[in-house]
Structure 1
């Protein structure tokens, strides 16, 4: 891990359990500025600070910029989940669903597949499709169950109308 990332992590550690406010944003922004405006990691850090402070409208363009500039697999997945969450919170459920569906299709074996499925389920519920959301959540849980894979998969498909 780089010194730069260690310093970002230290800001988050200091803020753990507390309110993310202007001070946290200012501290993250100061560290991010060291890398310039064309750095994906810096844009991602800035977006996360705003998102955590309850400013999804400010976070969305920064997440989009980070993804545009290119993030590695884990960071890309995290930025996608966080962007989809922000879009959902801003009422753009369709945008959130499109983003999450594209991530699932492009990276089905992602280490973040369960978190992606959870975001998908939340977005579906927000879109007025709670049954499909429940089906997505159940299907994400199936691989973690010691038994009942076949029956739970069948139930999920039934609840979700066959397209979960």
Structure 2
């Protein structure tokens, strides 16, 4: 972890800050990396997203993705962008992003599945949402993995 990463993490971890107070601190750190730096754009997007300034966050997430994030931050940016789009009522776009992200696998596949389930629920597809959530949860259960996986498949087939 670089010094910059540690300072960014410290701002996010400071529970004394309000979301609005966090924005200028993140912006100051982002300015150290330049206006077109992918990580700086990503952190600025996240700060605005947390503060409820979602339309600005969407623009910054898209810019961060276009600028080329490393895989860890790319996955997070896609998930966060998709979640924000869902909150803004752009459910079809949210579903599209999350469907693709789930298909990529990797460390954030379960997180993508959780937000995909939320987007499906927002789209009026609660059975499909439950199937996705259960399918993501099943491998983490100490027992009943096979049963829960089978039930998830049944729900998905019924949601069809």
Bin the TM-score by the shorter chain. Answer: over 0.9
Structure 2 contact 127–158 (Cα < 8 Å) conserved: no
Aligned in 2, Cα 1:148/1:17: closer, same or farther, shift over 3 Å?
A: farther
Q: Give the match for residue 160 of structure 1.
A: 156
3-state DSSP class of the match of 2:19?
coil
Deviation at 1:80, TM superposition (A): 1.0
Residue of structure 2 in register with 1:65 after alignment: 63
TM-score with structure 1 length normalisation?
Answer: 0.91
Matches for 1:134-145 after TM superposition, within 5 Å: 134-145=130-141
**Gapped regions of structure 2 (runs ≥ 5):** none
Instruction: Give the drift of 1:126.
Output: 0.3
Q: Give the superposed CA RMSD.
A: 1.6
Aligned to 1:125: 121
Question: How many residue pairs align between the two structures?
Answer: 160
Q: CA deviation at 1:41?
A: 0.3
What is the match of residue 7 of structure 1? 7
User: How far did 1:162 drift?
Assistant: 6.1
Distance of 1:5 and 1:150 partners within structure 2: 40
- Contact 1:157/1:163 (8 A) holds in 2: no
Deviates more, 1:128-137 or 1:30-39: 30-39
Structure 1 residue 115: deviation in Å?
Answer: 0.9
Unaligned runs of 5+ in 1: none
Structure 1 partner of 2:75: 77
Match of 2:19 in 1: 20
Q: Deviating runs (4+, > 4 A) in structure 1?
A: none
Greater Cα offset, 67-76 or 115-124: 67-76
1:151 to partner: Cα distance: 2.3
- What is the TM-score of this pair, normalised by structure 2? 0.93
1:70–1:163 CA distance, 2 compared to 1 (3 A): farther
**Alpha-carbon distance in 1 for matches of 2:63, 2:128:** 31
Cα shift at 1:100 = 0.6
Which of 72, 91, 94 is residue 93 of structure 1 equivalent to? 91
Q: Secondary structure at the match of 2:35?
A: coil
